[in-house]
Structure 1
Amino acid sequence: MKLAVVGGGSTYTPELIDGFARLRDTLPIEELVLVDPAADRLELVGGLARRIFAKQDHAGRITTTTDVDAGVADADAVLLQLRVGGQAARERDETWPLECGCVGQETTGAGGLAKALRTVPVVLDIAERVRRANPDAWIIDFTNPVGIVTRALLQAGHKAVGLCNVAIGFQRKFARLLDVNPSEVHLDHVGLNHLTWELGVRLGGPDGENVLPHLLAEHGEAIAADLRMDRRIVDRLGVVPSYYLRYFYAHDEVVRELGTKPSRAAEVAAMEKELLAMYGDPALDEKPELLAKRGGAFYSEAAVDLAASLLGDGGSPVQVVNTYNRGTLPFLPDDAVIEVQARVGRDGAAPLPVPALDPLYAGLIANVTAYEDLALDAALRGGRDRVFKALLAHPLIGQFDYAEGLTDRLIAHNREHLAWA
């Protein structure tokens, strides 16, 4: 089995490598190729990756290349974890929206649209290269904004599934609070990427007992603190929203907060510099503790589970993924990409049925889906007017003057990445 990781020079990658090494019985990789245009980072990450495999007695071969075509040749699956424009572009995504009084974040709002515009064309080019190399290869997308990117891939006819670590993070957290094995915890996880709610927490399987009321009664304060939300929100909803819902439920508070501290991008850039220095130490043969602060917790375990299910019989039969709606949420088009529990196998992902949603959730999901439609159109066809319409449609923006100002700023800060600008 051969896997390729495009964006393999990311400081995330040792987390992925550690999972591949630990879970080799689930996903028996014979060859792993790390692909990245940044040769200097690739050398550091690749060296550490080989040492991690060696320490854990993994027999797989790890190679590195800056050539996408060479890297994906004959690959059975390709994982995408790109950041077009690097942390510098992320820094801009998180700052210029604040000038208009809107949240600055790299996956939602105006910053999320900027990232989509930069990313979709690059991902589609890579996907075409994968298809030419092996039309049967699966593409696993971890590149944000995952919902929009996955929809672009699926609409172009690629064998693709989107992956996010939010659900597995909640699963692990709830398992600790309940003192059970994570495999016993199943989530009624519903929504769009980075716009989800845990409507139930079930023990033993998708049809098991719902223990969410118990969790909220016994651990509501801790859960709310992890979300950085007022406990009253969680108690009133009676469900657990993704921490990304804070940008919607406490938008003005978040904007004020972001204006008083360094951006997350600046924090991550400093962290990455320190991590890369660690990766260059030939004595280091395991992922450093600092990596846990970088983000992406449990990404490796989710990726292994998904790849194992798509390529064979080693993964869990039911997983939370991003895939076509296909009638699961009847108020959305069939080709909308949703994030829900799905049955995953060699033929891809088939969403499990979802109960009728409260309008409180369905309304916001429908609104953001409409924005994602417009965002993908702007990413594929370009043009100032398409960018403006996507921004105006986003529920975190929604005002004409805001959308006008944000459109000008988005184009000015991303011109080098926009072929039409």
Structure 2
Amino acid sequence: MERKNLVIVGGGSTYTLGIIMSLIEEKENFPLQNLTFYDTDADRQEKIAKATEILLSEHYPELESFSYTTDKAAAFADIDAAFVQIRTGGLAMRELDEQIPLQHGVVGQETCGAGGMAYGLRSIKDMIDLVNDIRYYSRDAWILNYTNPAAIVGLALKREFPDDLRILNICDMPIAIMKSYADLLEKDVWELVPEYFGLNHFGWFSKLLDKAGNDLTDEIKDKIINGDFLPTDKEIANDESWIQTFRQARQMLIDFPEFLPNTYLQYYLYPDDLAKKESPDNTRARQVINGREKRVHEHCDQIIQQGTAKDIDVEADIHGVYMIRAAASLLFNLKETFVVMVENQGVISNLPADALVEVPALLTNHGPKAFSVGEIPVFYKGLIENQHAYERLVVEAYYENSYNKLLQALTLNRTIVSAPKAKAILDDLIEANKDYWPALK
């Protein structure tokens, strides 16, 4: 296989080490010639990059070069693919995204509800600038975007670059859930074939099959309802917040047994309960800062100090492997099936054509070829149309600098509903994001 040139945008992310270990594990399926990190925060990136140099020297000696930079030309010239994982405003702004809604008694979450709207408005400009920069230096590179909130960012990119067929919006949550299904069945997750429909962080598995076509759905449902449901991917398996999230998915299945839910639906189906369980003084962002970020930086310090990664607990994760296998399918025309985001255009026949739906698709060198879903039941159609309207209004508000459309969006959102509450939250978010959002009128 031809060796490829890859840039990881957001090289300083706490997820980067997992991606590196995944690249090492998958090097026969996605062989690299050159690997580059790009980040606007040189200090944050440097620690991750120095540890990566040691990991690669020990586990990927055939790699021709590794570099890290804040220079766009050095990062984006002559690349075959870009993995994009930016966080405009960093974890400090994420904490405000979560605290402000919670102070008003509603869900405070990074991608859902008011916090997701705030993050989305911050992300759109940087993502548009980033795609323009990549295209300036590498017109034909594949851009795999998993920047959150992927639904809002993806809609904005589709509006800004309607003819760019080499941008793929993708999320690892479906495969992380499938990993738990596979472990319940004592199977390899890559043996499962999903049938799935919805929007990003807002969807359902209608069926899970094996490669031979056997339907495993009822067996999975029975094991969850009559037992327990826990995260099993190493990155989240011991995280108390994720443990509670997966257990809430069991309750969703009990209440609505027709389909297997994406875990993020908890915020929309049980918003009052979820808001009561969270504290502005101990947000999910704060847990990440004190948990994953601290752990990853400690691992990097140990690797750098020792000059070796031996005896350091860093491994491939499902997030990284999923992105890498998706990229390999695109670049090598493998035509493998992944759950990705595509413009609907009749894939789900009773949803708007312009919705950015999340469905299974073959990934080819000409892009995703989505499988038809057909009509979905009224309950799910109503939920999805409401969520799509919210997402579309956020994107329109960005382009039109519209306060009114943001207010409409938050009032529609199932985590809020109340117009007075939506207005109070919006006004607080405007103040917190004055250095990031466009001026509203």
Please classify the TM superposition score into its range, dividing by the shorter chain length. Answer: over 0.9
2:209 to 191, 198, 202: 202
The CA deviation at 1:235 is: 2.7
Q: TM-score, normalised to structure 2's length? A: 0.89
Which 10-residue stretch deviates more, 161-170 or 215-224? Answer: 215-224
Out of 27, 38, 43, which is 1:40 matched to? 43
Change (3 A) 1:386 1:226: closer
Counterpart CA distance in 1 for 2:382 and 2:34 is 45
Question: What letter is aligned with 1:323?
Answer: V
The residue aligned with 1:10 is 13
1:112 & 1:291 partners in 2: Cα distance?
29
TM-score, normalising length from structure 1? 0.93
**Per-residue deviation at 1:171?**
2.1
2:366 partner letter: D
Residue 303, structure 1, aligned to residue 309, structure 2:
no
Distance in structure 1 (CA, Å) of the matches to 2:319 and 2:271: 27
**DSSP-derived class of the 2:353 partner:** coil
Is residue 2:41 matched to residue 1:21?
Answer: no
Deviations 1:326-356 (A, max 9, x none): 2111233323211110111111112101142
Q: Render the CA deviation track for 1:118-154: whole Å, top value 9, x for unaligned.
A: 0001000010011111211111111001122122222
Q: CA separation in 2, counterparts of 1:287 and 1:168?
A: 28
1:404 aligns with 2:423: yes
Which residue does the alignment assign to 1:266? 286
Change (3 A) 1:126 1:233: closer
Secondary structure of the structure 2 residue equivalent to 1:122: helix
Moved more, 83-92 or 93-102: 93-102
Q: Which one of 220, 223, 242 corresponds to residue 229 of structure 2?
A: 223
Measure the CA separation in 2 of the matches of 1:138 and 1:335. 22
* Contact 2:103-2:280 at 8 Å conserved across structures: no
Alignment of 1:114-263 (within 5 A): 114-157=118-161, 158=164, 159-204=166-211, 208-220=213-225, 221-223=227-229, 227-229=246-248, 231-238=250-257, 239-259=259-279, 262-263=282-283
SS of 2:229's equivalent in the other structure is: helix
The CA deviation string for residues 160-183 of structure 1, in whole angstroms up to 9 with x for no partner, is 111111111122222222122222
Q: Aligned match of 1:285 in 287, 303, 309?
A: 309
CA distance in 2 between counterparts of 1:9 and 1:253 reads 34
For 1:123 and 1:260, the matched residues in 2 are separated by 28
In structure 2, distance between residues paired with 1:266 and 1:232: 26
Letter in 2 for 1:195: F
| Bigger shift: residues 184-193 or 153-162 | 153-162
Query: What is aligned with 1:319?
Result: 338
Does 2:406 correspond to 1:387? yes
Distance of 1:58 and 1:154 partners within structure 2 = 39
Gap change, CA 1:209 and 1:226, over 3 Å in 2:
farther
Deviation at 1:288, TM superposition (A): 5.3
Determine if contact 1:331/1:366 at 8 Å carries over to the other structure: no
Structure 2 distance, partners of 1:290, 1:367, is 41
Q: Decide whether aligned partners of structure 1 residues 178 and 65 sit closer, same or farther in structure 2, where only a CA change above 3 A counts.
A: same
Q: CA deviation at 1:286?
A: 6.8
| Other structure's SS at 2:435 match | helix
**Residue of structure 2 aligned with 1:416, choices 407, 414, 435:** 435
Paired amino acid for 2:169 = G
How much has 1:230 moved relative to structure 2? 7.2
| Structure 2 CA distance for aligned equivalents of residues 236 and 95 of structure 1 | 29
Uncovered stretches (5+) of structure 2, i.e. residues with no partner: 231-243
Kept after mapping to 1: 8 A contact 2:351/2:385: yes
The CA distance in 1 between the partners of 2:27 and 2:250, in whole Å, is: 40
SS at match of 1:83: coil
Tell me by how many angstroms 1:45 deviates: 0.8
1:55 aligned residue: 58
Q: Is the 2:184–2:223 contact (alpha carbons within 8 Å) kept by the matching residues of 1?
A: no
Bigger drift between 78-87 and 321-330 goes to 321-330
Q: Give the secondary structure class of the aligned counterpart of 1:412.
A: helix
> Residue 374 of structure 1: which of 393, 398, 407 is its match?
393
Q: Is residue 228–residue 246 contact of structure 1 (8 Å, CA) maintained in 2? A: no
Q: How many residues align?
A: 414
Partner of 1:223, secondary structure, is coil
Q: Distance in 1 between matches of 2:176 and 2:375?
A: 25
Please report how far the alpha carbon of residue 310 of structure 1 lies from its aligned counterpart in structure 2 after TM superposition: 1.3
Distance 2:219 2:248 in 1: 19
Amino acid at match of 2:323: A
Q: Percent identity?
A: 30
| Distance across 1 between alignment mates of 2:245 and 2:412 | 30
Of 112-121 and 387-396, more deviation after overlay is shown by: 387-396
**1:174 match: secondary structure:** helix
Contact 2:51 2:301 in 1 (8 A): yes
Distance (Å, rounded) in 1 between the aligned partners of 2:249 and 2:85: 32
1:291 positional shift: 8.4
Q: 2: CA distance between counterparts of 1:182 and 1:231?
A: 19
Q: Deviations over 1:30-74 (max 9, x none)?
A: 111100111122111111212222222342221100123321111
Letter in structure 2 aligned against 1:305: R
- In structure 2, C-alpha distance between the alignment counterparts of 1:69 and 1:384, rounded to whole Å: 37
**Distance (whole Å) between structure 1 residues aligned to residue 159 and residue 407 of structure 2:** 23
Give the AA of the match of 1:25.
Answer: E
